Structure 1
């Protein structure tokens, strides 16, 4: 609920949006720190086999982007909009993937490993795939690599120290929910920051942005369901986690990698992609309360 409220607050109160934009680098640190701590404090889960890890990385990082590229080649899309859609799928999973997995009762450690691995590959993968797919967008990946390694390294160090000396921080970090709360604060900042771009896109062409928002929601939730069904034999928790990292991508990272120089249509789609990411936990929680929906969800195993 807080994530949705933060987005609405940024849309209605301009100073909040400006504040969130200024705090974006700090939000990236909070998202990563919250995910590290959530995974560290999560209940024990099934071991993550190298084969499973390799399959998930290939599915999220290779299969989905290239499958989308093939499908979109037959669609009469504006090249800039096509670039925006493909860039959203080239992005790694959101930095808060482990925290969101914790909120939803999935596998935080699997979500964390997939998210961190694909994020660390971003300085190489995004420009390489963008060139192969002919997106025609330049990236400042050198500067981004330095920022990424700094954020992940700093968050990892703080998380290690917090776990190592946990008895001293129990008042502020009593359990996994508190760790997830750190990531929620980071996501609230993202909601405030991206509301500025959302307002600009909606003001310039409301109908066009509404269409892009609908497409972003369909892609996000559609990929979540597709992955969950594809890997259903692995159990609800594992399949749901793979679905989570398949549909929820760190599009703001791609936006920053392009030095905020994306074409207007691509930028509009990237901004629209943030909305379903922020709304996903609330939507799933509400759906799970419906008897007609929850009875189709198998027990965790």
Structure 2
């Protein structure tokens, strides 16, 4: 088993993308995995915390760009700008609200694990996600208030804060306990832990596809349009965050990943009443880029790094 888990880790982005494909192709498996989503979130948050060095977390948290400036940009400034822009171009209040709420969500909990798979900075990813989660009980209701004028939608900030505290506090408590009971196991079986995290992300990807096949078959043109918008929003956010972050190439790519891949399901579940079909469809479509972008990035990142390296060499020669 210990031999299989490291191999799963090495193929992590492919495993995640295949989870989406399996969930779409076999709705029965997606329906089976759906009730496990909250458990899978806890597992990959716990696995990520086990693999992160606390001193590195403290160092990253002291960087105001990571702990404050970019979290605020992600969950407050960007949702407002994307919501306004989408309403201007589409004139559809429900779609603009769905986009604003999706962008108002914090970075996905599994981003740190994905960052490790891609050779990026998992600590930076984790700290950005945690700091974003700390402020969304304030920012998400504000964004909803701005864009949900006349719609009966409400996010309870206290309930959202409590759920986040239970998730993060429970995972951190479990990580501390495991480290104290078996520090040697954690240090010597890191790749196996990463493999468990990838399996949890794989099952999560399958579960998020529940109902998607039916939607695509029932309204193919609308579903394809929503998927295209979801990918466009994800890519635009990655480009914005990556270009704005004033750090190394690895740091830029890490911030870009956090900017694009958001925990849309968190705010989706926090909305107090049933959503309109447009909003529900867009939130569901957002899951596709979240789980397939790591594979795309695995292919694209080496090419970008090679291009920039050649560009730097040519500049030095001139």
Give the TM-score normalised by the residue count of structure 2: 0.83
1:60 aligns with 2:74: yes
1:86 aligns with 2:100: yes
**2:239 & 2:55 partners in 1: Cα distance?**
24
CA offset digits 1:204-253 (Å, max 9, x no partner): 3111110111111111122112221222x411122112111111110111
CA offset digits 1:42-83 (Å, max 9, x no partner): 989975534222221222122211221332242124221111
CA gap 1:32/1:298 in 2 versus in 1, 3 angstroms: farther
CA gap 1:46/1:239 in 2 versus in 1, 3 angstroms: farther
TM-aligned CA deviation for residue 161 of structure 1: 2.2
1:257 maps to which residue? 270
CA gap 1:139/1:43 in 2 versus in 1, 3 angstroms: closer
1:296 maps to which residue? 307
2:34 maps to which residue? 21
Q: Which runs of 5+ in 1 are unaligned?
A: none
2:260 to 243, 247, 257: 247
Number of matched pairs? 294
CA gap 1:237/1:165 in 2 versus in 1, 3 angstroms: farther
Give the TM-score normalised by the residue count of structure 1: 0.87
SS at 1:23 equivalent? helix
Matches within 5 A, 1:250-289: 250-258=263-271, 261-288=274-301
Instruction: Supply the RMSD in Å over aligned alpha carbons.
Output: 2.6
1:158 aligns with 2:174: yes
TM-aligned CA deviation for residue 168 of structure 1: 4.8
**1:203 & 1:18 partners in 2: Cα distance?**
17
CA offset digits 1:14-43 (Å, max 9, x no partner): 331122111111012113112212323998
SS at 1:234 equivalent? coil
**1:158 & 1:31 partners in 2: Cα distance?**
12
Is the 8 Å Cα contact of residues 141 and 257 (structure 1) preserved in structure 2? no
**2:273 & 2:215 partners in 1: Cα distance?**
14
**2:21 & 2:156 partners in 1: Cα distance?**
31
SS at 1:75 equivalent? helix
Matches within 5 A, 1:1-301: 1-40=14-53, 47-52=60-65, 53-134=67-148, 136=151, 137-170=153-186, 174-175=189-190, 177-231=191-245, 233-258=246-271, 261-288=274-301, 290=303, 293-297=304-308
**1:168 & 1:108 partners in 2: Cα distance?**
21
Is the 8 Å Cα contact of residues 93 and 250 (structure 1) preserved in structure 2? yes
**2:209 & 2:61 partners in 1: Cα distance?**
37
Is the 8 Å Cα contact of residues 111 and 242 (structure 1) preserved in structure 2? yes
SS at 1:94 equivalent? coil
**2:21 & 2:219 partners in 1: Cα distance?**
19
Is the 8 Å Cα contact of residues 45 and 107 (structure 1) preserved in structure 2? no
**1:99 & 1:12 partners in 2: Cα distance?**
26
- Work out which of the two has the higher radius of gyration on C-alpha atoms and give 1 or 2: 2
CA gap 1:60/1:178 in 2 versus in 1, 3 angstroms: farther
**1:34 & 1:214 partners in 2: Cα distance?**
32
Is the 8 Å Cα contact of residues 34 and 181 (structure 1) preserved in structure 2? no
TM-aligned CA deviation for residue 149 of structure 1: 1.8
